[in-house]
Amino acid sequence: METEPPILIEGDEQSRLDPALPDGGLRPYPGVQSYQVFRASRDVPELTDGKGWTYHHHIDMACWRGRLYVGWNSCERDEDVWPSRELFSTSVDGRAWTDPQELFPQGVSTPLRMYFYFATDVGRMLAIAGGRLDTSDTDEDRKGPLVVREIRADHTLGDVCTLQGTGALRHFEQCGDAAFMAACRQLLADRVFLEQQDRGKLLGDRRMKWHDPGAWTEGMVPGDSEKWVAGKAYSFLRRPDGLLVGVSKMGWTTTSRDDGATWTRPLVPPTLVTGKAKVWAQQTADGRFALVYNPSRKNRYPLVIVRGDDGMHFRDMRIVQGELPIQRYEGRFRSIGPQYVRGISTWSDDGSRAGERAMWLVYSMSKEDIWVSRVPLDGDEHAWGVYSPKWAPVKVEGDEVRLEDRDPYDYAAATRGFRGGASFEVMAEQLDSLLYAEISDDTGRRTTPIEIEAAGRWQAVRVDAAGAATVTFRTRAPRGVGGTHPVDAGTDRPIEPAVFRVRPAD
Give one DSSP letter per residue of 192-228, joined into a string.
HHHTTSGGGTTTGGGS-GGGSGGGSTTSS--BSSSSS
460: Cβ–Cβ under 8 A, 6 or more apart, which residues? Answer: 423, 424, 425, 505
> From the CA atom positions of the chain, what is the Rg in Å?
23
CA distance linking residue 222 with residue 218, whole number of Å: 8
With bands split at pLDDT 50, 70 and 90, how would you rate the model's confidence at 2? low
Question: HEC string of 373-404?
Answer: EEEECCCCCCCCEEEECCCCCEEEECCEEEEE
CA distance linking residue 193 with residue 348, whole number of Å: 10
Please tell me the pTM assigned to this model: 0.97
Strand partners, 401: 396, 502
For residue 183, give the nearest of 124, 135, 104 by alpha carbon: 124
Is residue 496 within 8 Å of 432, Cβ to Cβ?
no
CA distance linking residue 376 with residue 426, whole number of Å: 26
Q: What is the DSSP code (8-state) at residue 229?
A: B
Q: What is the pLDDT at residue 143?
A: 77
Is residue 168 within 8 Å of 123, Cβ to Cβ?
no
Q: What is the mean pLDDT of residues 234-248?
A: 97
pLDDT tens digits for range 153-206: 999 999 999 999 888 899 999 998 999 999 999 999 999 999 999 989 999 999
Q: Is the pLDDT reported for residue 144 higher than 80?
A: no
**Degrees (nearest 5) of the Cα angle 279, 235, 225?**
65
Q: What is the pLDDT at residue 140?
A: 79
pLDDT tens digits for range 359-394: 999 999 999 999 999 999 998 989 999 999 999 999
With bands split at pLDDT 50, 70 and 90, how would you rate the model's confidence at 453? confident
pLDDT tens digits for range 88-124: 999 999 999 999 999 999 999 999 999 999 999 999 9
Q: What is the pLDDT at residue 3?
A: 64
Q: What is the pLDDT at residue 171?
A: 96
Is residue 34 within 8 Å of 88, Cβ to Cβ?
no
Q: What is the set of domains in the chain, with CATH numbers?
A: 8-380 (2.120.10.10), 397-504 (2.60.120)
What is the percent of the chain where pLDDT is above 70?
99
* Residue 228 region by backbone torsions, left for phi larger than 0, else alpha for psi between -120 and 50, else beta: beta
CA distance linking residue 482 with residue 22, whole number of Å: 8
CA distance linking residue 169 with residue 147, whole number of Å: 9
The residue count for the chain:
506
Residue 47: strand, helix, or coil:
helix
Q: Is the pLDDT reported for residue 126 higher than 90?
A: yes
* Residue 151 region by backbone torsions, left for phi larger than 0, else alpha for psi between -120 and 50, else beta: beta
Q: Is the pLDDT reported for residue 1 higher than 60?
A: no
Provide φ and ψ at 250, rounded to 5°: 65, 15
Query: Mean of the per-residue pLDDT values for the chain?
Result: 95
